[in-house]
């Protein structure tokens, strides 16, 4: 007489795999941004250039420019260039360093990976701006003391969020180009084209075509970003222009880029 063995009685129950929490993905992406030489020195350069810009204002600027806005403007120029490059490298590193195959094997949902990269870039951007603001504040106090003038805090509570938003808009454009092109060199070149070359072309077109003059602010994201840096976005029309340029340069290309990214072959 042979005994029958029930295979279901000896097979252990299979555990359901739990998805990796988004917080862990963000921590991993933050670590990636600091681990590479390019990413590390790019982040270090923010602090270094903030100190250099602050020193330049103290040494070379006239006494009338020794204000918090003067220091913020000096620090803001290198920030507006470096932060978009950090956002670009956060995305394109998976392809330039050929780590995408490993990343997307461990986390098959590419949308969650890109979302974690976006959150990590946002955290780095906000943190960098906080450091730059602190350096500017120290420079304002020290500079006014050296120049023997009153310490002027001329950035209002309504202007500060616009300065932050202006830098985040630039980061978002860089991040979008990284998602669309997925190549570090191509995305960096494309960013400088749309931020430096494109505004001149649009201004020239507005001069030779009068009908385009009223349309330019609605499609030129540099104009909207400049208004944010100046704290001049205070009417419904100007906020509508910002929304229009954001839709054209960030939202639509990002959606298209994500669609191609989710379906593209990773090598």
Q: Which residues contact 142 (CB under 8 A, 6 or more apart)?
A: 58
One DSSP character per residue, 91-148 reads: HHHHHHTT-HHHHHHHS--HHHHHHHHHHHHHHHHHHHHHHHHHHHHHHHHHHHHHHT
pLDDT tens, residue by residue, 134-152: 998 999 999 888 888 888 8
Band (pLDDT 50/70/90 cuts) for residue 123 is: very high
Burial 82-92 (b: 16+ CB within 10 A, else e): bbbbbbbbbbb
For the chain, domain boundaries = 21-263
Instruction: Output the pTM of the full model.
Output: 0.87
pLDDT tens, residue by residue, 5-20: 555 555 555 666 677 8
Band (pLDDT 50/70/90 cuts) for residue 176 is: very high
Query: Quick one: angle between helices 221-229 and 236-246, nearest 10?
Result: 130
**Which tokens is 59 given?**
């040494």
């Amino acid at each position: 007489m042979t005994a029958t063995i029930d295979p279901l009685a000896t097979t252990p129950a299979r555990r359901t795999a739990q998805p990796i929490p988004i917080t862990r993905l963000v921590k991993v992406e933050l670590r990636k941004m600091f681990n590479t030489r390019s990413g590390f020195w790019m982040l270090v350069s923010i602090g270094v250039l903030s100190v250099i810009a602050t020193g330049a204002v103290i040494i070379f600027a006239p006494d009338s420019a020794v204000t918090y806005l003067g220091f913020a403007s000096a620090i803001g120029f290198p920030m507006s260039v470096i932060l978009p490059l950090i956002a670009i490298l956060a995305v394109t590193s998976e392809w330039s360093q050929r780590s995408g195959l490993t990343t997307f094997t461990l986390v098959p949902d590419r949308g969650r990976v890109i979302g974690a990269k976006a959150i990590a870039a946002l955290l780095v951007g906000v943190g960098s701006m906080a450091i730059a603001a602190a350096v500017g504040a120290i420079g304002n106090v020290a500079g006014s003391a050296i120049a023997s003038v009153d310490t002027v805090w001329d950035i209002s509570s309504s202007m500060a969020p616009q300065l932050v938003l202006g830098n985040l808009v630039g980061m978002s454009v860089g991040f979008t180009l990284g998602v669309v092109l997925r190549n570090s060199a191509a995305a960096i070149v494309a960013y400088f084209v749309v931020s430096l070359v494109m505004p001149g072309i649009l201004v020239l077109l507005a001069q030779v075509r009068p009908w385009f003059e009223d349309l330019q602010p609605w499609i030129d994201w540099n104009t909207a970003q400049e208004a944010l840096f100046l704290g001049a976005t205070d009417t419904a029309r100007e906020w509508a222009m910002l929304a229009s340029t954001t839709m054209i340069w960030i939202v639509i290309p990002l959606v298209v880029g994500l669609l191609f990214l989710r379906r593209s072959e990773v090598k």
